[in-house]
Structure 1
């Protein structure tokens, strides 16, 4: 009926339709609406409408814009009016709007919420307001008379938005006195003056310049997504190479940060200098270095140690990760990236104060980022296995058409970042989704690990030693061989084949770890598929001959005394063994313990030592160096994520309660008994009324406050009142202290 409200429309819908609505617009179900009126009110708020529009494609949004252009927010319109504005049938889009309660009514009386214009903007379809002055005017003829400069201005405003700022709108002048395009168009009535600096293109002119419709046919047609078929195995193998490279970069990050942990910026995050240092170590640009750092921290392999001078330090989890198989290592990193509530691509962008956003800082936190990644990858998953998109830009265009209002100002950039990061991690190759990535999207990590293990090349047990002292690994090395080769050689280049270089420094590094020259000779002799160059043998022997002639040890403190007898007495005391004191000269003892502990121990043994500084002066080790407090982390900005989708049983319960609320709202009832002051309903009058309803098996209307603190109404038939509870024939239980009013239902 023409006067049907949204609440009436919802009340008349089947339960399945309401359940689908609550699943689609999840914010409507939290907290559960008490009746259809509450549901309709909530569905008509600007914020809820804006969220619902995020999932709509360009055509459906155009239908909604056309409804607003036709005035459906103030009065019922017909579908024929909407079809005329679009230039093609609107049925499919209109049905989607009805399913989401963004429109209601039959085709001869369609309405939209009054607040829809507030949610979507003041200019639907980018068109201005109608002009009464143009009624009966031959617009085509009037537009044909304008100059090229005037037409260019009209075309620009017709593309939207229809508002323009100008200095020529100060006052209206006759056409013969007008000198600028704006003044001439204002005189012709083809522009409207809003104030001294603002003009607006009338809707009629905008529609004319768009070809007689509010939208062009190209706008309303979904763009094709060009694809290219590949062999599934080719995609998986190409991705496996990228996965191995990302694993290697993560290994290098762990090694670098183990030796030289970078400091945490005072404002949080990783500094530019440290990022460049990491990029140099990885031989990668800032974008790649940021991604590796973000994923490593996101996976728990490194983190802020939260000390007084906080640093980014690897965690104990890094050791177990390093000991895992390559496929398991990849799965952990890929899963961490997929669920990462951050956007690494934002690093380097400028904030509102024109300061660059630092990697690992709270500024990069985006709780909706995982949903955005899954949306992009799900688009690839919908393609046939092995099929990839020809161009990322074409994918950007397709996704922008499918959900133009989703993603904010970085909507298109997020797609590009996702494809770049997914390719770097080995989830995407040749524009196609890999088998392992498909399993991850289905939350099947074990299958994803197995799929990556199948795609990775088999580990090799031999290397190729070249005459120029390079060692070529034709594939991923076995774990023990990789450890040995990395100890004695430096990586020169990586990829499907890794090239190492043996130098005097790398050989000395291997000897420093306790390996002997004989062990290094045996390594190359047994693991090289090519003859070992004589130059490598000579280098190892030469470095080994010079290695260790000068030796060093560890000492944390020393004692000196010109009286050798006193030093002998100290060494003979039992405290000397406890303090690990050793004589290295007739008048010098050293210890591995800090000086303060050594002095305290000797004083406890009856000696009277004193501490001295570098200049020989006595210093006080117990002097107070000032108050210390733990470093405090900054509070992360709170960003609201999408509401969690209710389950099927929960949705069914909400619909049941909603129907019950509708019935209660439409029930005739007698004089209500209200709780005093709106408090608990355990008064004698309320109990007496409920007892009467129980004896007579009569329906009773109750008002109560549910567990969410929301006021609700029900019509129930009590079967028992006692123990602080009202039990009804529908097996529901209502705490008496939550009942605020009650009344017998009248026939």
Structure 2
């Protein structure tokens, strides 16, 4: 039977291109000929990588070939079918064998072979079957099984399951049959158990097959599990996602505001401390798991960054200001694309590392380069369903586990759960279904996704509902200007599809501090409320504004003025104001050397209600916009893997064919000049003679990447340090720099 290299030479160009596309590691660097390609295809690491994308049934078929020793001798497809069991149909097996052939994990038609490294890549006990016993036949195994007592049969039944190994203290003992006192000793004495090591015994393969009967490899899932599809409706899914998006944006805004005012320290090992995380979670009003996702998204989108320096802190970037002023759909698109490409696992936050230390947000322990691929696998599966249809997480887990059982490792199920939960929090998934914006994100990118979300978001409202208990209800998303005004004059009490704000003395004072007058606030509530403005709210605004601003602060470094000298005397006499360094320069004026903001804050802490005054006498807004740093000093995107395109792969196959022809010509023809690299003069003379005589030459060539190859070329012209020639087989022209030619020889007819 042909070996893998000969079998690959017999494949069509289209089949070789498909192989290189499915296993891109075989194409880098470019193989010189098919023999090199075959060697790479059988390397353990490459076989393991190819097996990662095999479904459960394909792996079972490959395990069957391993059990039949197809790595050492040819195996008939019918033998593999018999081993897989009666539940597997011939078309199913034939289709799967074709898939394995396309990956060069199996070759041959009537007789099948596999690489020897496949045995190393697959489990040590394929299908849970152990080694065959040397002197035990299939008939003998069935007879021995019938002769066992109940305890022995129970033991054999357990070992015939997922693993043939059993741990026992009798594994290292050699006890004659007439002295055996338990099932293990009796079975060892009769050769029906094998000693694996000093602590384990192993069930012979023949005995396991006798126990399993017509299912030699156990339960085989030949078909993909059928999911539990639930019809949700596209509009319902998108409306639900829109609510989740608005909630997400509100929480990210809260995070940026909080860390702009009070940035947390960067831990020595990176990340955020537990205390800072809990404080921020309380301020933003989210649980710590959701906050971890928000922090990772903000860092990945370059909205927060490490300030570096002697005392580094996590600080919002200048880009965050642009993000805060952008429309909601564009803000969401940036976060959604960031999450999709994020090479990190936020779901690991709260777990323990190898040293039993708690893993926090932004720590290096969260880095997983394959996380974007695993995320897309989950979303791509949901994208296969009709619009508005969803499946529960348990069905997603079953299907993806069948499709790629070797991917994900120990946290595979957790990764699927995390991906679905995070996608739901981002509004990419809602009610277990992929949203319209989510589909656009996967297929068309963030710009189209933003447009899709914009169509799903409710129209912004230009009104609110003022209640008698001093609460203001926003029955939906507000216009940006109204939302900013309401955020200034009231505090959020509860959020959801309708947001409830509460107006208080402190919030009214905050608006007055920002430059609003009492008339401005009365006009705001009167013009924007669909309900009558309660008298209690009018009284509150008037009462606060009456006391507000009686003290006027300026810079001397700072000054304090008031038309009432008695009030200024009260300020000077009040305990706690001595640190403000105030002194009277006139009956109605005090000055201080402290900054204006410090004077105003100190007076407020002492119980007074001053306002800051600008040079023009108008109210000065002293609110800080928060700390900011330049972003871009943290890499959170996975590196882009550039795979060869169809044209590059076709060219590579052409080079393979040329290498094969050159290798055959070199082995089967008489070549000149003598052994060793020819001199420059000898090379030029030989190539020019070949061009004149229209004869083919064999070239040893090194390309710009340092990859050696062999070509059979018919020289056309030689000059200027370049050999221009045509491929001897397909007639395509090419240039070969003379300094890259390592050897050359004429090919004799």
**Is this a same-fold pair by TM over 0.5?**
yes
1:268–1:634 contact (8 Å) kept in structure 2:
no
What is aligned with 1:417? 418
Detail structure 1 runs of 4+ shifted over 6 Å in the superposition. 554-558, 586-589, 633-637, 639-642
Map Cα deviations across residues 502-551 of structure 1 (whole Å, 9 max, x no partner): 22222222222222222222211111111112222222222223333455
2:237–2:388 contact (8 Å) kept in structure 1:
yes
1:674–1:740 contact (8 Å) kept in structure 2:
no
Structure 1 residues not aligned, in runs of 5+:
559-581, 594-632
1:252–1:282 contact (8 Å) kept in structure 2:
yes
Mean Cα deviation higher: 150-159 or 452-461: 150-159
Measured in 1, the distance between the counterparts of 2:120 and 2:494 equals: 58
2:470–2:502 contact (8 Å) kept in structure 1:
yes
Measured in 1, the distance between the counterparts of 2:168 and 2:42 equals: 37
Of 92, 96, 99, the match for 2:95: 92
Are residues 556 and 733 of structure 1, via their aligned partners in 2, closer, same or farther at CA, if it must alter by over 3 Å? farther
1:696 aligns with 2:698: no
What is aligned with 1:483? 484
What is aligned with 2:329? 327
Of 709, 719, 736, the match for 1:712: 709
What is aligned with 2:452? 451
What is aligned with 1:604? none
Q: How many residues align?
A: 678
Of 261, 268, 271, the match for 2:270: 268
Q: CA deviation at 1:47?
A: 0.6
Partner-residue secondary structure (3-state), 2:221: helix
Q: CA deviation at 1:641?
A: 7.0
Measured in 1, the distance between the counterparts of 2:6 and 2:640 equals: 28
Are residues 744 and 433 of structure 1, via their aligned partners in 2, closer, same or farther at CA, if it must alter by over 3 Å? same
1:302–1:315 contact (8 Å) kept in structure 2:
yes
How does 1:625-636 map onto structure 2 within 5 Å? none
1:368–1:641 contact (8 Å) kept in structure 2:
no
Map Cα deviations across residues 122-160 of structure 1 (whole Å, 9 max, x no partner): 322221111113226532343345455544443333223
Partner-residue secondary structure (3-state), 1:185: helix
Map Cα deviations across residues 286-305 of structure 1 (whole Å, 9 max, x no partner): 22111111111111211112
What is aligned with 1:12? 10
Of 136, 151, 165, the match for 1:163: 165
TM-score (norm 1): 0.86
Are residues 447 and 671 of structure 1, via their aligned partners in 2, closer, same or farther at CA, if it must alter by over 3 Å? closer
Measured in 2, the distance between the counterparts of 1:734 and 1:720 equals: 11
Are residues 538 and 592 of structure 1, via their aligned partners in 2, closer, same or farther at CA, if it must alter by over 3 Å? closer
Measured in 2, the distance between the counterparts of 1:314 and 1:24 equals: 42
Measured in 1, the distance between the counterparts of 2:338 and 2:639 equals: 18
Partner-residue secondary structure (3-state), 2:736: strand
Are residues 470 and 102 of structure 1, via their aligned partners in 2, closer, same or farther at CA, if it must alter by over 3 Å? same
Q: CA deviation at 1:188?
A: 3.4
Of 301, 304, 311, the match for 1:302: 304
Partner-residue secondary structure (3-state), 1:732: strand
What is aligned with 1:685? 682
Measured in 1, the distance between the counterparts of 2:556 and 2:396 equals: 63
1:723 aligns with 2:720: yes
Are residues 456 and 111 of structure 1, via their aligned partners in 2, closer, same or farther at CA, if it must alter by over 3 Å? same
Are residues 176 and 278 of structure 1, via their aligned partners in 2, closer, same or farther at CA, if it must alter by over 3 Å? farther
Mean Cα deviation higher: 31-40 or 440-449: 440-449
Measured in 2, the distance between the counterparts of 1:181 and 1:506 equals: 81
How does 1:616-655 map onto structure 2 within 5 Å? 643-655=641-653
1:192–1:199 contact (8 Å) kept in structure 2:
yes
What is aligned with 1:70? 68
1:351 aligns with 2:349: no
Mean Cα deviation higher: 691-700 or 651-660: 691-700
Mean Cα deviation higher: 332-341 or 12-21: 332-341
Partner-residue secondary structure (3-state), 2:201: strand
Are residues 80 and 524 of structure 1, via their aligned partners in 2, closer, same or farther at CA, if it must alter by over 3 Å? same
Mean Cα deviation higher: 212-221 or 130-139: 212-221
Measured in 1, the distance between the counterparts of 2:329 and 2:483 equals: 16
Mean Cα deviation higher: 356-365 or 247-256: 356-365
What is aligned with 1:664? 662
Are residues 695 and 308 of structure 1, via their aligned partners in 2, closer, same or farther at CA, if it must alter by over 3 Å? same
Are residues 147 and 273 of structure 1, via their aligned partners in 2, closer, same or farther at CA, if it must alter by over 3 Å? farther
Measured in 2, the distance between the counterparts of 1:417 and 1:395 equals: 12
Map Cα deviations across residues 389-409 of structure 1 (whole Å, 9 max, x no partner): 1x2011101100011012222
Are residues 722 and 216 of structure 1, via their aligned partners in 2, closer, same or farther at CA, if it must alter by over 3 Å? same
How does 1:331-730 map onto structure 2 within 5 Å? 331-389=333-391, 391-550=392-551, 590=593, 643-667=641-665, 668-673=668-673, 683-729=680-726, 730=732
Measured in 2, the distance between the counterparts of 1:689 and 1:42 equals: 35
Are residues 659 and 642 of structure 1, via their aligned partners in 2, closer, same or farther at CA, if it must alter by over 3 Å? farther
Measured in 2, the distance between the counterparts of 1:18 and 1:360 equals: 43
How does 1:204-243 map onto structure 2 within 5 Å? 204-243=206-245
2:343–2:638 contact (8 Å) kept in structure 1:
no
What is aligned with 2:576? none
Structure 2 residues not aligned, in runs of 5+:
560-581, 597-631, 727-731
1:193–1:199 contact (8 Å) kept in structure 2:
yes
2:40–2:46 contact (8 Å) kept in structure 1:
yes
